[in-house]
Structure formats: structure tokens, C-alpha cells
Amino acid sequence: MSDQDTSKENNKDYSASNIQVLEGLEAVRKRPAMYIGDVGVRGLHHLVYEVVDNSIDEALAGHCDQIDVTIHEDNSISVKDNGRGIPVGMHEKEGKSALEVVMTVLHAGGKFDKDTYKVSGGLHGVGVSCVNALSTKLIATVHSKDGKVYQQEYGIGVPKYDVKSIGTTDITGTIVQFWPDESIFDENVYNYDTLSARLRELAFLNKGINLSITDERNQDDEGNLIKDEFFSEGGLSEFVSFLDESREQLIPDVIYMDGEKSGVPVEVAITYNTSYSENVHSYVNNINTHEGGTHLSGFRRGLTRTLKKYADESGMLAKLKFDINGDDFREGLTAVVSVKVAEPQFEGQTKTKLGNKEVIGAVDVSVGEMLTNYLEEHPKEAKIIVQKVILAAQARHAARKAKEMVQRKNVMSGSGLPGKLADCSEKDASKCEIYLVEGDSAGGTAKQGRDRKFQAIMPLRGKILNVEKAMQHKIFENEEIKNIYTALGVKLGTEEDAKALDVSSLRYHKVIIMCDADVDGSHIETLILTFFFRHMKELVEGGNIYIATPPLYLVKKGSQSKYCWSDDERDAAINEMRGSGKETSVGVQRYKGLGEMNAEQLWSTTMDPERRTLRQVNVDSAAEADRVFSMLMGDDVPPRRDFIERNAKYANVDI
């Protein structure tokens, strides 16, 4: 890392005076979503990311190479690193320990001092103080460079005692353990897979750093604690190989560069596969910018310019009767772009779109140089890439007519809505919802049971096309997919991106997938979700996609009846109704299909906003979601078999 030597020189200056305070900690507990996104599962896990990001910042500054995360039995989290340790000296302006300032004051930290951290993910400095405010208890332990161990404990952000010395040490580093406040969060159980996926991502993005996660709540078959360790020597080149492991490779290499242009460190890795989708993931200071920004614009510009120049000079485009456009160069592309920016300008605290103009040129030039060198040194692979681009252009040309048919069949054109759609009377899209229902039979029941004012029903015939394996024109020719586009009122192409989805005319703000509670229903759900993730990602990111949860059982005894959504609920209901009698006196009906319920039952269990349970679909990690969809829906069988075997213990199988 180019800044490492400079950072080590600054080591002696990193003390209490480096911690700058912008304002006090206010309103975090009152409006937590403003600071951590939401108070659901995502917000709960975000607390861990904020603490880990502090340790990663130490690593980026060249002072830390080991970060350990532990999920304890009581569901508390501890994050330990071997960095310099948060300063514990007296802070001049605040008149208290710098550790207490960092932990209790919003917008306080070394990140605002350019000499302390050259780059930093947690730009707003709210991270660890927010975690403190949203935890019933937090203990910060610092192994200081003066050979002492210091500690301070907090309750909902308030120190229990002054920073005190509790022993001696011959190492340096910080350990933060916190207990999330259950009264704040809707969900309070940490998901091991979610946290390990983020740590794996961080290992790829920061090569040379060891990250580990241990789950003290669970053990493997041999009685050992569940644990994963992540370390990447190759960085993004290994990341791209990992993302593409279940796809068929078009070229054998990962094209990779790691350097600095115009003072901006740029790391890029790309490869091509035989699929028809584009999978580009961009990061700024380890933050996944899923809305893109200037670094992604620079990447696309550099890629298109360089490949177009090579294709023109090779003469391979001579027989093509229409122009190649930028989209054609990105079909079958898997790429990761990571930049480190000293003063990043993001759109809001969500940090999902980069605005720094100087980054466009830096990434553009870097990608151009990297690709030019590769194409010159690998003429065989270069020819294969250009042939793929030509095929993509021909497929786009073939798909244009099918796309135009989809565009033409919208509400305003007068060609009307799909015949199967039972629309609602409400015209305000924010109040409307549409159910995509498996099968005509269940669709008919749903039409009878719905509230016609705001609920629309669209039956889908059987299993829709697996878009993971289909060419673009086949997708737009598929009747069910055409009907979904037309019913939702969305259009293809925006001013910024011809492949993006224009959601300005979206007719329903809730799109609810309702399938049978059996294996086929789960498969259809996955097919529909694959379509939304690959072709209507904007709706997923906007929180518009939901999954209905019909009950699995109806437990009855005489005039008593109770719907149950799990085996545990069923058993509890049986025991409750059985009383002193025998279990056989209690009847249990297993619902395998929506058609087994009448209209009133379907309304009361699955469609009534007062009583139903909807699961909102969101994407925590775009890269991980991309990998899982390719693995589940692609051609490569072994990774899918491994996944099924690994997760078989969670499956509900009807025998």
C-alpha cells in the first residue's frame, strides 16, 4: 500500500489531539433509522459493520492485519483487532478521555484528521458512537502502546465509570463488545452467514488482512464451534474468480490491475463468462456503492472505448450491418471495481452513489491501460471477447422488436393490460399492491378473496422462464414476462442507462409473490426472484418486492381452529387443544397448495393487511446475491449440490 510508510510516520502523532469533535450525540435512539438505515435485520447487522469498519480503517493505514469477530452465546458481538488501540489520553476540548469521546460523541474520530487516516469508510464518524447508543451495554477494552490495558463500560451510550487501567499488556489493539438493545430492533438474532459473507467481501477488498468469525452459539458435527477464516492474497482477482465459480468461463484469465492514477488508488478485476448478464460490483473505501457513481461511469467508459478501438482495428466488425453500443461490451462480464478516495462525496449517509468527478478519469485511464496491455498480449482471448460482443449486438438487434412489443403494451398506449390481470380501482400507486399468484386456480380464489379497492391479482401459468440461462430476445418473447412488464407499467431504459428500468410509471408499490407452500412453489418463487434480481433490480433495491407467507397447517378440534406457520406452532396448538384428551381428537390439515383454501381463508391468512405476514425482499450484499443466483439457477451442478447438502438441515420436506 502506497500510504503505508507515511502512515507509520504518523503513528507517533496519533493521540487524543487527533480526535476532532463536530457535534454532540443526539436523537440516535429516537430516530435510529437515520443513522443505520433501519431497525430490522439489516440495521442489526449494520452495527457490526460499523465496528469492523473502524478496524479496517486501522488496517488501511497500515497498523492492523488481524480482525476477529465473535458472536457470543448471549447474542452479543465482540470485534477485536491488533491495531494501535483507540487513544485514551485526555481530549483538550472535551476535557475527558479520547476513548470516551470516540464512544459517546457523534461525528468524533480520527477520520476527519487527514494525517491520521488517508482513507476511511465511515466518513460521517457516527459509527461506533451510534452502536453505543443503540446497545444496552458496551465494553471497550484498549491494549495501549504504553503497556497498559484500559477499559470503559457504557449503558445506552452513557459511561458507567471513567476510563480505568485494568492490567498490563505487551500487545496493542482494541476490543469492542456490545449487546444490541432489543427494545430498538425488530429482529435481535444475528445471522452467521450474513456476517461471514461481509467479512469474506472485506478480505477480498483488502488483501493481506486476516479476518475471522466465530459463532459460540452453534457447533459442527464434531463438537467444534462454527468458525470461518478469510484471507486473500490476490484481492479482487480472487473475488472475481469466487463470484464466477459456478459460471462457464469464456476466457481462462482474470484481467487485473492495482495502481494509482491522479492520486486515486484504483483496483480492478474483470473476466468474461458465457452467460448473458452483466455483473459489475463497485466499491469506494470498502463500501458497496450499489447505485454506482463516477467510478462505475469511468469503468464503463474505459471498457467500451478500449474494446471498441481494438474491435475496429481488428477488422472483425466490418461485416456487421449495425453499430455496436456500450451494452454489448458488458454481456457476460463479471467485474469488481474498488477505489480509495480521501474525501469521498456520497449521496447521503447510505453511501450508495459516488459523486467525485476526479475519479472518472482515474478509473477510465486505469481500465484503458489494463485492457490494452491484455488484448495485445493475448490475441486469442481478445478475439473470443470481440466475438462475444458481436453475438451480444446481434442478440440485442433480435431482441429489439420483442422489447418494442413489451414497451408498446403499456397502459397509456391503449393496447390495455394483460387479460388475466384483475386490476384494483385505486389510482394512487403508493396504496396499490399486486399479487403474482402461482396458477389459474389459486388466482381465481385470490380474485374472489381480495379487497378490490387496492389489491390486483395476476395469475402466472406454471413455471416462468429461467432468465439465468436465457438470451435477451427469448426473455422478452416470453408471455408471462411480457405480462409482468405490462401489468407493472415499468419501461426499459432511462436517460443515464439504456439497460436500466424506468420505474416512474410503476402502478403498484407492493409487488407480492404468492406461491404454494411446497417444493414446486419454492422453485417458482426462486424463478420469479431471479427475474426480478436480473431484470428489475431497481424494484428489489427500492423495497417493492414481497413474498406472501400462507399458513402450513390448520389445526382443528370441534369448533376450535388455528392456523400455524411452522411445525413448532402446530405442535403448540395441538397441545393446547388436546388438553386432557388424546392427540387423535385434534385434526391437522397440511396446506400444500393455495387452492386448498377458500377465498375467505386465503384473505384472512395471507392477504388481509391486518393479519398477514409479508417478507420484504432486499439485498444485503449484491455480490453474494449475484453468486447465489448463478449457483442456484445456472448450469453448473456441483456447487448447487454442495449448497443443498450444506443447507439440508433447514429444509422442510414432505414425505
- Do the domains at 4-230 and 414-550+614-619 have one common CATH topology? no
Active site residue 520: yes
pLDDT for res 123: 41
- 51 phi and psi angles, rounded to 5 deg: -70, -40
Task: Please name the CATH architecture into which domain 236-400 falls.
Answer: 2-Layer Sandwich (3.30)
d(CA 154, CA 104): 9
438 catalytic? Reply is yes
Contact status, residue 511 vs residue 544, Cβ threshold 8 Å: yes
Q: How far, in Å, CA of 446 to CA of 464, rounded?
A: 19
CATH assignment, 4-230: 3.30.565.10
**C-beta separation of 532 from 525 below 8 A:** no
pLDDT at residue 381, rounded to an integer:
95
Is residue 216 part of the annotated active site? The answer reads no
**Low-confidence residues in the chain, pLDDT < 50:** 1-10, 21-24, 111-112, 116, 122-125, 348-349, 411-415, 653-655
Classify each residue of 484-522 as buried b or exposed e, where b means 16 or more C-beta atoms within 10 Å of its C-beta: bbbbbbbbbeeeeeeeebebeebbbbbbbbbbbbbeebe
Sketch the domain layout of the chain as residue ranges.
4-230, 236-400, 414-550+614-619, 553-607
Beta-bridge partners for 563: 554
Pick from 214, 257, 202: nearest CA to 624: 202
User: For the structural domain made of 553-607, what CATH number should be given?
Assistant: 3.30.1490
Q: Which residue out of 520, 538, 569, 571 is catalytically annotated?
A: 520
Among candidate residues 518, 596, 624, 626, the one labeled active-site is 518
Nearest Cα neighbor of 74 from 135, 32, 29, 121 is 135
For residue 415, the model assigns a pLDDT of 45
* The pLDDT value given to residue 232: 94
To the query of whether residue 423 is one of the catalytic residues in this protein, the response is no
Annotated catalytic residue within 50, 81, 433, 438: 438
Q: Which helix (H) or strand (E) holds 49?
A: helix 41-60
Domain 414-550+614-619 has CATH 3.40.50.2300: no
pLDDT of residue 382: 94
